[in-house]
Amino acid sequence: MSPYLFYPLACLTIAGALGVVLNNNPVRSALSLVATLFLLAVYYIALQAHLVAALQIIVYAGAVMVLFLFVITLLNLSPDPADRTSPLFGAAALGSALLLAVVLGRALWATTLPGAANTPLPEGFGTTVVLARQLFSEYLVAFELTSILLLVAVVGAVVLAKRDPSPADMDAPAPGREA
């Protein structure tokens, strides 16, 4: 990726991330996150991770963020002016986050990745075929484990989100009933 493309995009990404954190309105926060996730997909393409980029847009920016927006609208969340911690605490948190970003960013900037500049990428790097082979050999256990992980998440989400026929639940106020 050329620097003339990278730096403007990096600024946009950081702006998007700040938008997630600083917006008072949860819907705007979520939309900023969607924008950030899209921009990350652009980097993935530049880094030869084509399948990952596609998944990022379809699964992450698509499915996961739709779920977020769905819940935000379901709960009818409005901007909350009280949503701030005390200025002192906020300043301390900001300071430590800046420190983290500077120290970590500088260190990562200077770190050496063997093969970064001189050696060419292995053949087929980033193709779906190579990724799939790896998922079904080296990462077979991990891959199978994700099926259990997703099953647990589905069962758990249903247990927590479905309405029970218990008296206490019947008395619950209206919002959320449309679920």
Partner 1 sequence: MTLPIANIEVLYPLMFACAWGLLVLTVEMFSLSRRFVGIGWLSALGLAAVAGISLSGQGAGEVFAGAVALDAFSVYFYVLLSVLAIFAVFLSMDYVPLAGIIHGEFYPLILFAVAGLLVMVSATDLIVMFLGLETMSMAVYVLAGIRKDELRSNEAALKYFLLGAFASALLLYGIALIYAITGSTVLGSVANAIASTDYLAADSLVLMLGVGMLLAGFAFKIAAVPFHLWTPDVYEGAPTTVSAFMATAVKAGAFAALLRIVLVALAPVMPDLSWLMWVLAASTMTMGNFVALRQTNVKRMLAYSSIAHTGYLLVGVTAATAEAGAAVLYYLAAYGVMNIGAFGVLAALTRRRHALQEISDFAGLGQNRPVLALVMSICMLSLMGMPPLAGFVGKFYLFTAALEAGYTVLVVIAVLNSVVSAAYYLGVLRAMYFQSADAEEYSPRPYLNFAVTAAAAVTVALGLAPSPVMGAASRAFSSIILGP
Partner 2 sequence: MVTPNHYLALSAVLFAIGSIGVVVRRNLVIIFMSVELMLNAANLAFVAVAYGRGLMSGQSIVFFVMTVAAAEAAVGLAVILAMFRNRQTVNADDIALLRW
Among 81, 88, 119, 165, binds partner 2 (CB under 8 A): 119
Which stretches of the chain bind partner 1, using CB under 8 A?
103-104, 106-114, 133, 136-142, 145-146, 148-149, 151-153, 155-156, 159-160, 164, 166, 168-169
In the region spanning residues 55 to 74, those forming contacts with partner 2, defined by CB under 8 A, are 55-56, 59-60, 63-64, 67-68, 71-72, 74
Which residue among 88, 98, 167, 170 contacts partner 2 (CB under 8 A)?
A: 98
Smallest distance from the beta carbon of 167 to partner 2, in angstroms? 14
Binding of partner 2 by 89 (CB under 8 A): yes
User: Can you give the three-state secondary structure of the chain, one letter per residue?
Assistant: CCHHHHHHHHHHHHHHHHHHHHCCCHHHHHHHHHHHHHHHHHHHHHCCCHHHHHHHHHHHHHHHHHHHHHHHHHCCCCCCCCCCCCHHHHHHHHHHHHHHHHHHHHHHHHCCCCCCCCCCCCCCCCCHHHHHHHHCCCCHHHHHHHHHHHHHHHHHHHHHHCCCCCHHHHCCCCCCCCC
Nearer to partner 1, 5 or 99 (CB): 99
Place of tokens 């063997």: 114
Cβ contacts of residue 93 below 8 Å, gap of 6+? 85
Q: Which of 130, 144, 166, 170 binds partner 2 (CB under 8 A)?
A: 130
Q: Which is nearer to partner 2, 109 or 165 (CB)?
A: 109
- Partner touching 164 among partner 2, partner 1, none, CB below 5 to 8 Å by kind: partner 1
Do residues 56 and 37 touch, judged by C-beta distance below 8 A? yes
Q: Which of residues 20-49 bind partner 2 (CB under 8 A)?
A: 20-21, 23, 26, 29-30, 33, 36-37, 40, 43-44, 46-49
Give me the least distance between CB of 105 and partner 1, in Å please: 11
